Amino acid sequence: MRIAAVQHDIVWNDREANFERLAPRIRGAAASGARLVLLSETYSTGFAVDAEGLGEPEGGPSATFLLDQAREHDVWVGGSCPELGDDGDPRPFNSFVLAGPDGTVHRYRKIHPFGYGGEDKHFRAGEQFRTITIDDVRVSMFVCYDLRFADEFWQLARDTDVYLVPANWPEPRRTHWMSLLQARAIENLAYVVGCNRVGAGGGLTYVGDSRIVDPLGEFLATGAVGETVLLADVDPAHVTATRQRFGFLDDRR
């Protein structure tokens, strides 16, 4: 399965502007043979944690855009957006929405709000992991800061071929981002796709460094500072063969 990671800038808290900018990039990725197109964390607003009225109802404009694009181009399209729950709590979840061409929508609610950046004051924490199967490829969904919690990747390893990690990871800790993406791939003998934004917003600078990493930690595609689209083919048979050759997961306690 070919995966595209769209490393893009974000117009701060302007959904319609971001929809307009991203639609041709998704179209281009689909034309390049991508079956799954990954956008960044908070792809439609930026990490505007304290913006008034940030939260959308589940299935609001950001999720609808992903679903419309998936249907139009016959691909899976995902990214995270702020979605409200149904219990009256005004804080949204940071929801990774992954939409399929047949109208299927899967959601993973970010388990670890980023306390250092104040996300925990404005966003609620999710509680459940999410692994789905697309074209016989087992895909596990995480978001940005989750990358620092290796034990949760470990828990899903045996049922995962590819980890998807959309992010808004700022420049000062870029080495952490790149190192942790590679480490999660090596530890779990699985592909890792990290899609980070570029540009500036909320007083922070983002420099991308998106990566598609194979089960042995080799880079299949990398992004630098500007907007770009990364493409790479992932193969669950390669994951199986790698794990058979190197039985590291069998030694995990």
Catalytic residue annotation: 41, 110, 144
DSSP 177-205: HHHHHHHHHHHHTSEEEEEE-EEEETTEE
CA distances in angstroms from 146 to 43, 52, 202, 205, 236, listed in the order given = 17, 25, 21, 20, 23
| Sign of the alpha-carbon dihedral angle for 38, 137, 193, 140 | positive
- Non-local CB neighbours of 161 within 8 Å, separated by 6+ positions: 137, 138, 139, 190, 191, 234, 236, 239
Q: Using CA atoms, how far apart are residues 20 and 182, in angstroms rounded to an integer?
A: 32
